[in-house]
Amino acid sequence: MPDPTPIRRGPGRPPKRIDDRLETREALIRCGIEVLTEKGFTATGIDAVLKRIGVPKGSFYHYFESKEAFGLEVVDSYAAYFARKLDRWFLDDSRQPLARLAAFVDDAKAGMARHGFRRGCLIGNLGQEMSALPETYRDRLEAVFLDWQARLAKCLVLARTRGDIAAEADCERLAAYFWIGWEGAVLRARLMRSETALDIFAQGFIGGLPR
Amino acid sequence: MPDPTPIRRGPGRPPKRIDDRLETREALIRCGIEVLTEKGFTATGIDAVLKRIGVPKGSFYHYFESKEAFGLEVVDSYAAYFARKLDRWFLDDSRQPLARLAAFVDDAKAGMARHGFRRGCLIGNLGQEMSALPETYRDRLEAVFLDWQARLAKCLVLARTRGDIAAEADCERLAAYFWIGWEGAVLRARLMRSETALDIFAQGFIGGLPR
DNA sequence: AGTTTACTAAACGATCGGTCTAATATCCGG
DNA sequence: CCGGATATTAGACCGATCGTTTAGTAAACT
């Protein structure tokens, strides 16, 4: 549906609309998530983002200090979005712990299919691009991975106390293992344009858990 | 060590040396492997490759039709190089099958460390970049993965006949699982600049094999 | 009314992949 | 040993695109 109150664009200060500034900023970030998730940071020009929102190029540096700063905000926003998603699945008391993981995987499969397997994982994309990225990104990206790891580890601990996995299992390490491999699965799923890689990895991981 | 017979560079037809044309061409490809393995395709300019070999820009298009064609040759060359490496490890009769896989992993760890964790896997790099790459690349990259998968599967079959893994194990699928996750491990190792991710994945994989 | 604020249009310099031309040194047929 | 044909270099050059800067305009605020 088209925006019911289209934002006037032209030179000069725009008419007052309280949340206008935030709206534009956040629209840019939201669009940045989509585009960077698909094409990565280096291969994406800011024009591509701006065009899609209808913001003129000259305005970009009014909202963001640089492309680098923009990217960092996109990462933060994506991390927050993904953390919410993980909580939705990993804290879902209506499912057994390991079934929650499977449910997350199914959701991810559906998500990738919905976008024609063009979009991957933003953090993985940028991680792969690190050598062409400002060094600022490195710690931020790694921190996101560690956050995901912690959330999954909690879920695995639950499975362990239930006896679904071995009592001596190192849940933190298992969680690390999952995200390491998961990024590879997403990469491959995009290359093959099929859910197969996600399936193979997920089943391999769950099937290989210590019992 | 410096090249004992440096290639003369200057205008005019070079002296006849049967393999001279190949030398320059192959030097470009070899350098392409290094650079693309480190920075990927999109983020790498042709000049970066040319500068390192001392070949002027005008010469590039004498040897290659385009950057795209060049990249494909680099992929082929890398695939051949990596296939030899896999054979060296996976067909090493002095080791038990699963120990061969572990040896490959150790070798990869040492290799990544030697280059300061700046270089990753060329195929994985380009795979992640697919959405910004000519569509020509897709099948080629996937074919390389399938080749690696077949080589590892053979090794796993050996392990199965020895009874090291369960008789009902699907070696082809396990091999697919390995390479899917391995790419994620390489990605993460580069991000963290540490072998940890490779270790966690390799141990997780081998430890999770059906017994 | 005058200043401040919010935003944009246009241009800038760098770099990209790719082309083109001129120059040059060797090869090869006589 | 001469004289094309050929292989290669040298690097200026092109149009496109990149991230970024600047100068200016119009509404808001005082």
CA A179 to chain centre: 12
The torsion of the CA quartet B138, B141, B145, B146, rounded to 10 degrees, works out to 60
Tell me if chain B has a CB within 8 Å of the CB of A171: no
Query: What is the CA A57 to chain-centroid distance, rounded?
Result: 26
Map out the domains of chain B with their CATH numbers.
Answer: 73-208 (1.10.357.10)
Q: Find the distance separating the first CA and the last CA of chain A, reported in whole Å.
A: 50
Of A106, A127, A105, A108, nearest in space to A117 by CA: A108
Burial class for A101, CB neighbours closer than 10 Å (0-12, 13-18, 19+):
buried
Nucleotide closest to residue A15 (CA–C1'): D27
Query: What number of C-beta contacts closer than 8 Å exist between A and B?
Result: 140
What is chain B's pLDDT, residue by residue, as a tens digit (211 residues)? 333 334 556 665 565 554 556 678 888 999 999 999 999 999 999 999 998 888 888 889 989 999 999 999 999 999 999 999 999 999 999 999 999 999 999 999 999 999 999 999 999 999 999 999 999 999 999 999 999 999 999 999 999 999 999 999 999 999 999 999 999 999 999 999 999 999 999 999 999 999 9
Distance CA A174, CA A210 (A): 10
ipTM for this model: 0.91
Cβ(A126)–Cβ(B37) under 8 Å?
no
Q: Which two tokens stand for residue A88?
A: 């939705």
Distance CA B181, CA B202 (A): 9
When computed from its CA atoms, the radius of gyration of chain A, rounded to whole angstroms, is 20
Length of chain A: 211
Q: CB of B127 within 8 Å of any CB in chain A?
A: yes
By C1' distance from the Cα of A55, the closest nucleotide is C8
Give the percent of chain B with pLDDT over 90.
82
A171: phi then psi, degrees, rounded to nearest 5: -65, -35
Q: pLDDT per position in chain A (211 positions), as tens?
A: 434 344 567 666 676 665 566 788 999 999 999 999 999 999 999 999 999 999 999 999 999 999 999 999 999 999 999 999 999 999 999 999 999 999 999 999 999 999 999 999 999 999 999 999 999 999 999 999 999 999 999 999 999 999 999 999 999 999 999 999 999 999 999 999 999 999 999 999 999 999 9
Output the CA–CA distances (angstroms, integers) from residue A24 to A13, A58, A78, A184, in the order listed.
14, 14, 17, 34
> How far apart are the CA of A29 and the nearest CA of chain B, in angstroms?
20
Name residues 12-41 of chain B with a Cβ under 7 Å from nucleic strand D.
12-14, 20-21, 24
The alpha carbon torsion through B153, B122, B128, B101 (nearest 10 deg) reads 30
Please name which of A196, A44, A11, A23 lies closest in space to residue A117, comparing C-alpha atoms. A196
